[in-house]
Amino acid sequence: MAHSFSMLYRVSWGAAVLLVSVAALGAGLPPSVSEAMAKHKIPEEAVSLYLREVSAPQPALVLNEQVPRNPASVIKLLTSLAALDLLGPGYTWRTEALIDGRLIAGHLDGNLILRGYGDPYLTPEALWRLLQGVHDRGLETISGNIVLDGSYFVAPLARRGDFDGQAQRAYNALPSALAVNFQVTTVHMMADKTVAGGVRVFTDPPLANLKVTKRIKLVQSGCASRHHHPQIRIAHVAGHPLLEIGGTFASKCSEASYARLILTPQEHMAGTVEALWSQTGGHLLGEIRSGVTPSRAKTFHSQQSRSLAEVLRGVNKWSNNLIARTLLLTMGAETQGAPATEAKGRAGIDASLKQRGLDFPELVIDNGSGLSRKTRISARSLGELLISAFRGPTMPEFISSMAVAGVDGTMRKRLGDDAVKGRAHIKTGSLNNVNAMAGYVMDQDGRRWVVALLMNHKGMLTWQGKEVQDVLLRWVYDGAGSAEPKAHMADSPSLNCGQAMSGKKAGDGSS
């Protein structure tokens, strides 16, 4: 297979410009990277690599760089950059409260409608503020219904457990235009002798439509797994959700929390709205149901979300699949009109790439989050995307959305005792047999590098792929084997190391 290692420098002497190619390491991967791959039996044909200094016209090191591979969550970088292009870093989502009826002296003779536009950070606190705002503006009693309108997004055909059968795992949440707390119910348990059974159970957010039954036993013991084994089961009785808590709870254990997808987005929203509306002092005489806003309804109160630039930190630092999928749908709705579909969102990403002059013929986007076996991109395409992003106006927002090695996000527990700590902004991704990363690394000499590494290999474990990644990041930090070219340039004060010209527009940055 083809791989190479070379660097191009622009050497200026008066008006003359000369391209100089400097062999930095010779052919092949860095020995430390090759050794790490061999240790875990990861063959070169299963790996794609693209490494390029941001001001260079060509990559310094490539391996199988044009082979389409599954990038897992690294594809979120493409979704994020397209969102910055099409929506702008200051973009916000709104959630509206509309009234359909007459409001007289605090009494609404009709329906209150909550219409969502996809706010991915509609937390219980944010929803409470919206409802409190409705109450503060004079609406106290609703004689009709509270109608939940999520029609801005087309309801997905997929089911939560389709990808891996884990329907209650938070990463499998499906996008909804009106949902709260990422659709997640966190079940909290704690030893408490003042309640029946000795174990207190409550949920966040509060859910008025969820009945909880406890069969859990408090065991007087230390906090060891053989004694501490709570069990959570969700059932539906006569069409109503029931949360059953069983197993055992060790008395010496502190509070335990379990995040689950327990209810549908509509059930989850309805239960939270009912509980929070009651907390504001509001009264509801009807019921909470799903529906579509009639044209006669009037906006009574609305609320804006966090900005896109803030939201992207959840996408790339913490790899939130639901937000990424929401971004794809939002781009579709904003560029091609509601209701949003994945196809419209993919067309938006294509338009973003076209605006940037990028062509990725191998690209398969699927849902935009990377939680997919269909998604494909090459290491070269990822590298060119990162170079383009670095030269664009939203570069600060884009880079700051990524996890910082040894500091936060998915990289917080990696390279914390290494010199590269704090100097690499990386998006990671992993699925069974897939391990990937892409981002920016600043080496010890202050040069910034783009790196994209994709590994697709049957039987590869996540920790094995991470070890190869870390070895590569250390090597890039050490200078990517290019100390010799830098020394050559320093031999003469008349030689300026800078951006090589190759017939393409020169990028920003310095050598």
Least confident of 5-19, 156-170, 316-330: 5-19
pLDDT over 60 (residue 415): yes
Kindly state whether residue 387 falls inside one of the protein's structural domains. yes
The number of folded domains in the chain is: 3
Q: What is the mean pLDDT of residues 62-91?
A: 98
pLDDT over 90 (residue 489): no
Q: Are residues 103 and 82 in the same domain?
A: no
What is the pLDDT confidence band of residue 156, given thresholds at 50, 70 and 90? confident
Q: What is the largest CA-CA distance in the chain?
A: 87
What residues does 188 pair with on adjacent strands?
202, 257
What is the pLDDT confidence band of residue 4, given thresholds at 50, 70 and 90? very low
- pLDDT at residue 511, as a whole number: 32
Least confident of 275-284, 306-315, 386-395, 483-492: 483-492
Q: Are residues 228 and 316 in the same domain?
A: no
* CA–centroid distance for 265 within its chain: 19
- pLDDT at residue 238, as a whole number: 82
Q: Are residues 323 and 425 in the same domain?
A: yes
CATH of the domain at 285: 3.50.80.20
Kindly state whether residue 501 falls inside one of the protein's structural domains. no
Q: Are residues 427 and 447 in the same domain?
A: yes
Q: Are residues 341 and 427 in the same domain?
A: yes
* Angle between helix 124-136 and helix 265-279 axes, rounded to 10 deg: 50
Rounded CA-CA distance 211/215 in Å is: 13
Q: What is the mean pLDDT of residues 320-345?
A: 98
- pLDDT at residue 507, as a whole number: 35
Kindly state whether residue 173 falls inside one of the protein's structural domains. no
- pLDDT at residue 157, as a whole number: 87
Q: Are residues 437 and 485 in the same domain?
A: yes
Q: Are residues 392 and 417 in the same domain?
A: yes
Q: Are residues 391 and 356 in the same domain?
A: yes
User: What's the predicted TM-score (pTM) here?
Assistant: 0.87
Rounded CA-CA distance 472/63 in Å is: 13
- What is the percent of the chain where pLDDT is above 90? 85
- pLDDT at residue 336, as a whole number: 96
What is the pLDDT confidence band of residue 132, given thresholds at 50, 70 and 90? very high
Rounded CA-CA distance 490/49 in Å is: 29
Least confident of 131-140, 228-237, 458-467: 228-237
* CA–centroid distance for 448 within its chain: 24
Q: What is the mean pLDDT of residues 301-318?
A: 98
Kindly state whether residue 502 falls inside one of the protein's structural domains. no
Q: What are the pLDDT digits (tens) for 224-270?
A: 989 999 999 988 888 788 999 999 999 999 899 999 999 999 999 99
Domain that holds residue 110: 94-158+266-306
Rounded CA-CA distance 249/9 in Å is: 65
Q: Are residues 330 and 428 in the same domain?
A: yes
Alpha-carbon dihedral sign for residues 165, 169, 174, 176: positive
Half-sphere exposure (Cβ direction) of 309: Cα atoms closer than 13 Å: 10
Q: What is the mean pLDDT of residues 478-487?
A: 58
pLDDT over 50 (residue 392): yes
What is the pLDDT confidence band of residue 35, given thresholds at 50, 70 and 90? very high
Kindly state whether residue 164 falls inside one of the protein's structural domains. no
Residue 446 CB neighbour total at 10 angstroms: 8
Q: What are the pLDDT digits (tens) for 397-409?
A: 999 999 999 999 9
Which CA distances in Å does 60 have to 17, 25, 107, 324, 383?
20, 10, 70, 31, 11
What token pair was written down for 323? 């937000």
Kindly state whether residue 172 falls inside one of the protein's structural domains. no
Q: Are residues 113 and 208 in the same domain?
A: no
481 vs 44, residue with greater confidence: 44
Kindly state whether residue 169 falls inside one of the protein's structural domains. no
237 vs 420, residue with greater confidence: 420
Q: Are residues 357 and 474 in the same domain?
A: yes
Mean pLDDT, the chain, integer: 89
382 vs 488, residue with greater confidence: 382
Q: Are residues 209 and 230 in the same domain?
A: yes
Q: Which amino acid is at 85?
A: D
- pLDDT at residue 482, as a whole number: 59
